[in-house]
Structure 1
Amino acid sequence: MLRDIDPILSPDLLYALRAMGHGDEIVLADANFPGESLGPTCIRADGSTASEVLQAVLSVMPLDIYVPDPALTMQVVGDPDAIPEAVADFQNIIKKTADNPAQIQTLERFAFYERAATAFAIVQTGERRLYGNIILKKGVIG
């Protein structure tokens, strides 16, 4: 055990977060996301929701302040302006926890998959809410 480190942050996830550099991206994905097949290392967090993992990740990882979109979610197919429950929850967590409380931006479904395929890692959560996926771009600590 470590002091002041959320226990949701497994050794593999802590390693990935620490190994990432400025501008690298990590995907927090729901249970339906094709995390294992996209290519990047897939870290399993089946017993946690994406919101729980987001809260834990943002407690230790800065969001990039040099880009307009350090947090990206997937657009709802057929209704790109819809805000799914999970995404609304993500925005609240970012506002409360992130050092750079950015506004979430969105990507079309297949563009999201393409971006996720270039991420440093994918964290496959047990999130069951639809569209419970977010890409985070790591910032720097001054």
Structure 2
Amino acid sequence: MLKNLSRLHTPDLLHALASMGHGDEIVLVDANYPAASLAQRLVCLYGANLPEIVDACLQLMPLDGFADQPALRMEVVGTPAQIPDIQQECQALIDLHEGTGRFTLGGIERQAFYSRSREAYAIVATGEQRPYGCIILKKGVILPS
């Protein structure tokens, strides 16, 4: 056991987050996503929903302040401007950890999301039941204080 970590900070998730470098991406996906067939590295956290995993990741990992869009959401097919509740919850967590208005979830078309996730450092499969519970986070740097 370690102090100050949540039950979601499993050895697999901690290893993935710690091993990622600046600019690497981690994909957090819902239960419908074909994570096992697309992942280079798969972290399974089926007992948690997407917002819990976003929170667990952003407690430890900064977003990339040098990237135009360090956080992306899968767009709703047919209505790409629609932002489902699940994605709004993720935006609220990004605001909480990174500062309100600093980073906005950008949209990425469904098939482009699938293609990009194949290149990601890791995919985290969650138990999220709501559709479009899929986001990509790009790791930033921690500057000396």
**Higher fraction of helix:** 2
Aligned to 1:36, the other structure's residue is in SS state helix
| Residue 68 (structure 1) shift | 1.3
Q: Secondary structure of the equivalent of 1:89?
A: helix
SS at match of 1:26: strand
Residue deviations 1:96-138 (CA, integer Å, cap 9, x gap): 1236841110100000000111000000000001100110000
What corresponds to 1:2 in structure 2? 2
Give the direction of change, closer, same or farther, for the CA distance of 1:121–1:141 in structure 2 (3 Å limit).
same
Show CA shifts across 1:23-52 (max 9, x none): 000001000001000131111000000100
Amino acid paired to 1:39:
A
Dislocated runs of 4+, deviation >3 Å: none
The structural deviation recorded for 1:9 is 1.1
Q: Is the 8 A contact 1:63 1:99 kept in 2?
A: no
Q: TM-score scaled to structure 1, two decimals?
A: 0.96
- The answer for unaligned runs of 5 or more in structure 2 is none
Q: Identify the residue that residue 141 of structure 1 maps to in structure 2.
A: 142
Retained in 2: the 8 A contact 1:30–1:129?
A: yes
User: Where does 1:3-82 land on structure 2 (aligned, <5 Å)?
Assistant: 3-82=3-82
Q: Distance in 1 between matches of 2:30 and 2:50?
A: 6
Mapped contact 1:59–1:98 kept (Cα < 8 A): no
- Match in the other structure for 1:117: 118
How far, CA to CA, are the matches of 1:99 and 1:116 in structure 2? Answer: 26
CA contact (8 A) 1:48 1:127 kept: yes
Deviation at 1:3, TM superposition (A): 1.5
Percent identical residues: 47
